[in-house]
Structure 1
Amino acid sequence: MTNNSASSSHVFDQAIALTPDGDTFTGHPSADYQNMVGPFGGITAAKVLNAILIHPEAEGSPVSITVNFLGPIKNEAVTLAPKLTRNNRSNQHWSVELIQGDEIQCTALIVLAKRMDTFESEEITFPDAPAADTLAELNSDQLPPAWVNQYDMRFVYGNMLTMDQPEVPSESLLWMADKPARKLDFQSITAICDAFFPRLFLRTRKLSPAGTVTFTVYFHVNSEELAQQESTRVLGHARATKFSGNYFDQRGEIWGEDKTLLATTSQLVYYKD
């Protein structure tokens, strides 16, 4: 398991750092990962996953995490309360509550598993993309949220800041990496899965009020396979399926630079016109 602590020099590790407090962990929202309102959802999900991965009873590699965002997280201390719901021979089922004061702000379900060699078949293919070094890095000065500054983003297509059409498809393909570069782990991949800009903004060309309600990541590598990733960069592909009745979905894939499928992700987002 990866044990990140506040002593790490990387801003990401400081943002997800937790301190044991009996059966719970305590942490603090990071000013470096603030969004329009409250912290960037990806960093909150990564912090929740970290509470499990540093737990002394955790066994295996994460295969999934689902986080439900119940209310806005304030800029004050958070308490994470993990619970091992069931421990099977090949997997563990965990639940986590993220609490501020007397309010539960997030709930989460995490599955860890001891993966075994089985039949394999990859049903999607690595997207056709030029090398990251041939693409310009996103100028994050054009976007106010602090969290955007923590990523090196290089768009193949679907950059809402440079496209001038009144309406465009909701699909994006881009290279992403922590800034400064950081070795990939399950926590960082979780956060990166939420680093796609809301598909609504790209589709309508305007910043409408929106917020993630539920967010899921499925991991397709184990700890050893992830440790073999030499590159700190990933290729992300995202699109929406439908915008309707104040909600839209957002789906994506995260690929290693060696064309390994690392994770798939989906979320449901509330929005207002």
Structure 2
Amino acid sequence: MEKIMLDLGFQKVADRQYSIATDQSFWNFTSAFGGWVAAVAIAAVKIDGEFRGEIITKQMQFMAPVKGEQINVTISLQARRSKIDFWRVTVSDTEEKMLVTADIVAGERSDTDLSYNAVAPKTDAADNYTPLEASMMTPSWFSSFEQYMVKGSPGSINNQPKSIVLLRTKQWSNLDSSVLAMICDTPMPRTFFASEKLRFASTISLATHIYGSDVQISDSGQDFMTVETNSAAIRNNTANQEVRIFRSDGLLLATSYQTSIFR
């Protein structure tokens, strides 16, 4: 079984039901960071006695912000095939109000003779670019990552809402699928790159697809990853965001797609 890199402090309440304290170090301005919630959902599945294989996909729906000091997490095994399992995770508050759902697919990977990999953007060394530093104006989770802006100018109208960031974690010596899922939610809202005014967005749907094996993810170590982000559409108060995460050697580890609403 893959080692869990995040110490989330699951407290078992009943069979496949847990209570977890929300971590203020992974907070947005008024609620929990969606990437942290994604990591919780994956970690909950991975500690189950029937978990097998590796995380392949995760599809989340955010029905309400995670704001309380405590959340409840329930998991269920929906279906099992010969090498693929389908899990459901629900996150609720202490009053049993549903906040988030996540459908997760895990399975056993195998090598094949067919292989294709999108080309990673070419970048120079990280210190050639502008650092994205944590401050009073950034959410608390920002402090967990070292980031450098390669392409894109937030707070201005770019030719397209695209950004390229070199990123590595400050807290973990290597990665697992839960941390990788968190990284997929680190890019700024695409609205930041389409307007001179900072137009904040709230995620309602977030899908993450992991193509790197557990070993390939772990082997990323402390190297910078390339986070390439773009948007296909920003209009009618909804925004699309598409993310690709490349390892330092150009191997594509994961992609992510989300839809958010903005004003």
TM-score relative to the length of structure 2:
0.92
Q: Give yes or no for contact 1:167–1:205 (8 Å, CA) kept in 2.
A: no
Match of 2:21 in 1: 28
Deviation of 1:160 after TM superposition, in Å, equals 1.5
Deviation of 1:167 after TM superposition, in Å, equals 4.7
Kindly tell me the number of residue pairs found equivalent between the two proteins. 261
Match of 2:229 in 1: 238
Match for residue 172 of structure 1 among 145, 154, 163: 163
1:165-244 equivalences in 2 (<5 Å): 165-244=156-235
Deviation of 1:61 after TM superposition, in Å, equals 0.3
Measured against aligned partners, the alpha-carbon deviations of 1:199-229 in whole angstroms (never above 9, x if no partner) come to 0112113222420001011001222332333
Q: Give yes or no for contact 1:87–1:93 (8 Å, CA) kept in 2.
A: yes
1:262 corresponds to 2:241: no
Match of 1:7 in 2: none
1:110-121 equivalences in 2 (<5 Å): 110-121=104-115
* Amino acid in structure 1 at the alignment position of 2:187: F
Match of 1:95 in 2: 88
CA RMSD of aligned residues (A): 1.8
Taking the aligned partners of 1:230 and 1:120, their CA distance within structure 2 comes to 26
Taking the aligned partners of 2:92 and 2:172, their CA distance within structure 1 comes to 31
What is the DSSP-based 3-state SS (H/G/I as helix, E as strand, rest coil) of the residue aligned with 1:248? strand
Match for residue 64 of structure 1 among 54, 57, 61: 57
Deviation of 1:249 after TM superposition, in Å, equals 0.6
Taking the aligned partners of 1:85 and 1:118, their CA distance within structure 2 comes to 28
Unpaired runs of 5+ residues, structure 2, are: none
Instruction: Note closer, same or farther for the CA distance 1:30–1:168 as it changes in structure 2 (3 Å cut).
Output: farther
* Amino acid in structure 2 at the alignment position of 1:40: F
Identity %: 23
Taking the aligned partners of 1:130 and 1:82, their CA distance within structure 2 comes to 43
Measured against aligned partners, the alpha-carbon deviations of 1:123-161 in whole angstroms (never above 9, x if no partner) come to 521111112243342122263311112211111111416
Instruction: Note closer, same or farther for the CA distance 1:88–1:104 as it changes in structure 2 (3 Å cut).
Output: same
Unpaired runs of 5+ residues, structure 1, are: 5-11
Q: Give yes or no for contact 2:6–2:179 (8 Å, CA) kept in 1.
A: no
Q: Give yes or no for contact 2:173–2:222 (8 Å, CA) kept in 1.
A: no
* Amino acid in structure 2 at the alignment position of 1:41: G
Match for residue 76 of structure 1 among 55, 69, 77: 69
Q: Give yes or no for contact 2:206–2:257 (8 Å, CA) kept in 1.
A: yes
Taking the aligned partners of 1:119 and 1:208, their CA distance within structure 2 comes to 45
Taking the aligned partners of 2:215 and 2:247, their CA distance within structure 1 comes to 14
Q: Give yes or no for contact 1:182–1:232 (8 Å, CA) kept in 2.
A: no
What is the DSSP-based 3-state SS (H/G/I as helix, E as strand, rest coil) of the residue aligned with 1:154? strand
Q: Give yes or no for contact 1:183–1:232 (8 Å, CA) kept in 2.
A: no
Match of 2:123 in 1: 129
Match of 2:42 in 1: 49
What is the DSSP-based 3-state SS (H/G/I as helix, E as strand, rest coil) of the residue aligned with 2:44? helix
Taking the aligned partners of 1:225 and 1:153, their CA distance within structure 2 comes to 21
Measured against aligned partners, the alpha-carbon deviations of 1:157-194 in whole angstroms (never above 9, x if no partner) come to 11416xxx555521000111122453111011100000
What is the DSSP-based 3-state SS (H/G/I as helix, E as strand, rest coil) of the residue aligned with 1:182? coil
TM-score relative to the length of structure 1:
0.89
Match of 1:8 in 2: none
Match of 2:9 in 1: 17
What is the DSSP-based 3-state SS (H/G/I as helix, E as strand, rest coil) of the residue aligned with 1:201? helix
